[in-house]
Amino acid sequence: MPLSDLTHEDCLAYRSTAVEPAGFDEFWAGVHADTGPASFELISTSLKTLRVYDVSFPGYEGQPVRGWFVVPAGADGPLPCVVEFPGYNGGRGLPEDCLLYASAGYAHLFIDVRGQGGGWRRGDTGDVEPVGSGPQHPGYMTRGILDPAKHFYRRVITDAVRAVHAARSFELVDPARVAVTGISQGGGLTLAVAGLVPDLAAAAADVPFLCDMRRGAERAATGPYLEVAGYLKVHRDRVDTVFDTLGHFDGVNFAKRATAPILFSAAMMDTTCPPSTVYGAYHNYAGPKQIEVYHFNGHEGGETVQHAARLRFLAGILHP
């Protein structure tokens, strides 16, 4: 498999040309609104060393979002907490999917992305329609694409921010030691939350999607960026409008507002999230940052090797 994008040397020199939309901060001003308490229902599972709660918390406009909250059995807190976001078209799955962080001594909240969970891991959170209705390319990227206030990711990013509030509300969680993480779409949501929640302890964004999105739409050979290119192939007169909308959700713009220590990862043969798009966000990131690079991997990135690197990074900050 050849390099999908720039060489590593060129990525180190690359700087994003993404344009920040006017009124970006005002657009996100209401994201922390209190829309009610989260519920945590202890459930019975096959997991003997972990305790699992079925979570529902109010996301965008108070609409319910589902998740799993997992802690070590017998933990009495206060615990550092990792809030995790899923990849594109995945959901929270089953409790048996959520073993890594609680096994390492953390509280772990793994949330759904609304309306997703029909691709590679199940989800249980619906979306509210007809918000953002109108012509779209199949998928989620162009849903509401002509108006940032109606775009799909406005709701999803709001949900992700409020997941942090939900996690902090649980009695076993130390609210000063909360980190956010995710892979691909989850990595993009991690950057958004890091830019919108000023007092996170740490973040980890692996092969993040939703970064440097015009470049992604021009360079990606596989994956969701092709939805944007497919839409614009038909709607030739809407290029500026589309990328102004997507700019409100671009990790490059969130990164410049983020201050929590972060670990990125990039894969040099990634055709879904081209590595230059990851570096576009990385170079813009305002806080302390590190990056792991996988020179001969595609969108799978570092997989278990990166899981171990992420745990070492988090342990150095959160001290579980």
Residues annotated as catalytic are 184, 270, 299
Give the H or E element holding residue 289: strand 289-294
Burial of residue 319 (number of CB atoms within 10 Å: 0-12, 13-18, 19+): exposed
Dihedral, CA of residue 234, residue 241, residue 91 and residue 302, to nearest 10: 90
Q: Positive or negative, the Cα torsion across 101, 162, 177, 314?
A: positive
Helix (H, G, I), strand (E, B) or coil at 62: helix
Of 270, 216, 223, which Cα lies nearest the Cα of 246?
216
Tokens 């830019």, residue located? 195
Phi then psi for residue 142, to 5 deg, are -105, 15
Nearest Cα to 69, choosing from 30, 111, 103? 111
DSSP per residue, 46-115:
S-SSEEEEEEEEE-GGG-EEEEEEEEETT--S-EEEEEEEPPTTB----GGG--HHHHTT-EEEEE--TT
**Per-position DSSP letters for 172-193, written without gaps between them:** TEEEEEEEEEEETHHHHHHHHH
In the chain, how many H helices and how many E strands?
11, 9
The bridge status of strand 202-206 relative to strand 289-294 is: unpaired
Task: Find, among 111, 59, 55, 103, the residue nearest to 83 by Cα.
Answer: 111
Question: In the numeric block, which tokens belong to residue 202?
Answer: 């740490």
CB 36 within 8 A of CB 61: no
